[in-house]
Every structure is written in structure tokens, then in C-alpha cells.
């Protein structure tokens, strides 16, 4: 029975009329485009000015607690502690990694 037929029989029909699958065709695996070079910087605890210049035009400042740096990004604030890395993608987006995560994901070209 179609929806129109059901409403013709009982105009006050209510309730569940069907299910919609919430799956997406926008999932799977993606490989970065060939030879993208990502710029990176390691926060050493003593290179605040270098971090500030690296993230421009975004803002970065030392936090009041501990020896951390907070970077304000469009995706939200990022807090760097000593030995953390910031990676700048070719589209200027910043990614934050611990030292171990960075070593697992990147081969460094100097």
C-alpha cells in the first residue's frame, strides 16, 4: 500500500512509515596526493617565537599553567606540550601530534 492509499483510508495515520539507512557512500580509504610535503615544527619548550611565526596568521600564546603553547585554529584550540609537533598541510591546516605519533606517520626530509 502506498502512502497516498494509506492516507486516503485514514487521514489521521501517524507513526513510523519507513526506515532510512544512515550509511554513507563517502567512506573508505584515501591516499594523499603524490609528493605532498608537509611543513612541521617541534615544540621544545624554548621556541615560542618560532611557533608563533609558524602558525601565522593564526594566534599562539604560552599558557599560564605549565610550559605549554595554545594555538587558536578554526577547528578549535590546540595545546602543545614539549616534544609535540605541529604539521602544516599544503592547504594551511594545522595538525597536532605527539612525538610518537609524528614518528609513526612521517619520514622526515631535511
- CB contact set of 102 (below 8 Å; sequence gap of 6+): 40, 42, 85, 87
Mean pLDDT, residues 79-95 taken together? 94
Task: Provide the pLDDT confidence category of residue 78 given band limits of 50, 70 and 90.
Answer: very high
Q: What is the pLDDT of residue 15?
A: 65
Q: Is the pTM of this model over 0.75?
A: no
Q: Cell for 46? A: 624554548
Q: What is the pLDDT of residue 55?
A: 97
Task: Provide the pLDDT confidence category of residue 8 given band limits of 50, 70 and 90.
Answer: confident
Residue 52's domain comprises 37-110
Task: Assess if residue 6 is contained within a domain.
Answer: no
pLDDT digits (tens, 9 = 90+) for 19-74: 666 666 777 888 878 777 899 999 999 999 999 999 999 999 999 888 999 999 99
Task: Assess if residue 89 is contained within a domain.
Answer: yes
Task: Provide the pLDDT confidence category of residue 9 given band limits of 50, 70 and 90.
Answer: confident
Task: Count the Cβ atoms, other than its own, within 10 Å of residue 51.
Answer: 19
Task: Assess if residue 16 is contained within a domain.
Answer: no
Task: Assess if residue 85 is contained within a domain.
Answer: yes
Total domains present in the chain:
1
> Strands 85-88, 39-42: parallel, antiparallel or unpaired by DSSP?
antiparallel
Q: What is the 3-state secondary structure (H, E, C) of 73-95?
A: ECCEEEEECCCCEEEECCCCCEE
Q: CA 84 to CA 51: how far, in whole Å?
A: 11
Q: CA 56 to CA 46: how far, in whole Å?
A: 18
Q: Cell for 97? A: 601530534
Amino acid at each position: 500500500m502506498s502512502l497516498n492509499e494509506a492516507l486516503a483510508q485514514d487521514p489521521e495515520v501517524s507513526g513510523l512509515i519507513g526506515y532510512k539507512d544512515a550509511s554513507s557512500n563517502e567512506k573508505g580509504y584515501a591516499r594523499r596526493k603524490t609528493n605532498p610535503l608537509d611543513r612541521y615544527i617541534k615544540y621544545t619548550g624554548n621556541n615560542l617565537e618560532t611557533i608563533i611565526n609558524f602558525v601565522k596568521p593564526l594566534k599562539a600564546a604560552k599558557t599560564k599553567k605549565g610550559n605549554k603553547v595554545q594555538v587558536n585554529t578554526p577547528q578549535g584550540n590546540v595545546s602543545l606540550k614539549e616534544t609535540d609537533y605541529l604539521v602544516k598541510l599544503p592547504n594551511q591546516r594545522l595538525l597536532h601530534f605527539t612525538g610518537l605519533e609524528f614518528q609513526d606517520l612521517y619520514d622526515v626530509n631535511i
